[in-house]
Structure 1
Amino acid sequence: MLTVGDTIPSLVLPVQQGTSALPNGETIDLGQTNGRWKVLFYWPKDFTFVCPTEIVGYGELKGEFADRDADLIGASTDTAHVHFAWRKSDEQLAQADFPWIADNGKQLAEALGILDRAEHVAYRATFIIDPDNVIQHVTVNGLNVGRNPQETLRVLDALQTDELCPCNWTEGQQTLKPAA
């Protein structure tokens, strides 16, 4: 599995966003940084139970991530058409307006090392990637346990301070200063 200090693979992958039109070959280039951070999170499968709670939770914080110069990117091993159908079927998912990678070829999930071998889907993995495309944070959950998007935002805040941040540190609190 790729981890902190590794570079995210520079892949161009199918992506789906919005509900106004059927997918038409749109892609995302993970090699492009535009000087911004990326928050990439995978869920196992569309049309399931835990996954939409996470997608909606991240979607509600999209503006917060954008305020921190971070692009929110979702992903699963479903197709762009399945993503589109799921968004069309659920008003809350339709409002989760950020790109969803359609990694049905499992190219990125395999490169990241996050495939569940028994179920052939991705684990609930979250990667915070800096503007140089270097992974700075990784969390991976099993298939049945959802994540806390607010914690991802807290970790992004801490990483962006480039300071020593103590346990439970939140934006606005003091960072640690080593004694001279």
Structure 2
Amino acid sequence: MSQINSQIKPFTATAYHAGKFVPLSDADLKGKWSVVFFYPADFTFVCPTELGDLADNYAEFKKLGVEIYSVSTDTHFTHKAWHDTSDTIKKIAYPMIGDPTGVICRNFDVMIEADGLADRGTFVIDPSGTIQLVEVSAGGIGRDASELLRKIKAAQYVAAHPGEVCPAKWKEGEKTLAPSFDLVGKI
């Protein structure tokens, strides 16, 4: 069953954020646009390149009113240790959620049960807590923050402009479409 247009499920967790351990829950994701960014594990290979890319683009996400939450099945203690020892991970200013019990991974259906790790899953959630974008890729395929930014801009545009849709490769400021009977077969 698709998670698109479904509400996020309840969770509570502890994150490493801004040099502290902080409690977080599904309620923290509501009221703003959010990205929940699952990755397999700390101290690995593709994961730090993705998290570093998000860190490098974090200011752009914030300009859009978007908060990023990275999630793995590691503990918040492990996130702190990784943050303290990796130059790439030291750049991270967004919350790093620990999910050692896998509740959040299961809520978003990205748990690799046999390994106790998360798939590479990206979820864009609107301010009402509704999932607007789901992307899951194989473990060896890293994601691109600039493409995620483009998709968020499209989701925000569509949310703010009912009756309009964004075509493939749409970029902010470009022409959108207004689906109608007269448009059928003319694209």
- Say which one has the larger Rg: 2
Aligned to 2:151: 155
Partner Cα separation in structure 2 for residue 154 and residue 115 of structure 1: 27
Q: Is 1:41–2:42 an aligned residue pair?
A: no
User: Contact 2:30 / 2:129 at 8 angstroms: preserved in 1?
Assistant: no
- 1:125-136 mapped onto 2 (5 Å cutoff): 125-136=121-132
Q: Is 1:165–2:161 an aligned residue pair?
A: no
Q: 1:33 to 1:147 in 2, by over 3 A?
A: closer
4+ residue runs over 6 A deviation: none
Give the superposition deviation at 1:150.
Answer: 1.1
Q: Deviation string for 1:50-79 (max 9, x for gaps)?
A: 000000011111111111111111110000
SS at match of 1:32: helix
SS at match of 1:59: helix
Look up the equivalent residue of 1:31 and give its one-letter code.
A
Q: Matched residues, percent identical?
A: 32
> What runs of 5+ residues in structure 2 fail to find an aligned partner?
159-163, 183-187
Q: Deviation string for 1:30-52 (max 9, x for gaps)?
A: 22346211011011000000000
SS at match of 1:133: coil
Aligned to 2:178: 177
User: Contact 1:9 / 1:31 at 8 angstroms: preserved in 2?
Assistant: no
Aligned to 1:101: 97
SS at match of 1:31: helix
User: Contact 2:30 / 2:126 at 8 angstroms: preserved in 1?
Assistant: no
Aligned to 1:6: 6
SS at match of 2:140: coil
Q: 1:33 to 1:110 in 2, by over 3 A?
A: closer
User: Contact 1:127 / 1:137 at 8 angstroms: preserved in 2?
Assistant: yes
- Per the normalisation by structure 1, the TM-score is 0.91
Q: 1:178 to 1:5 in 2, by over 3 A?
A: closer
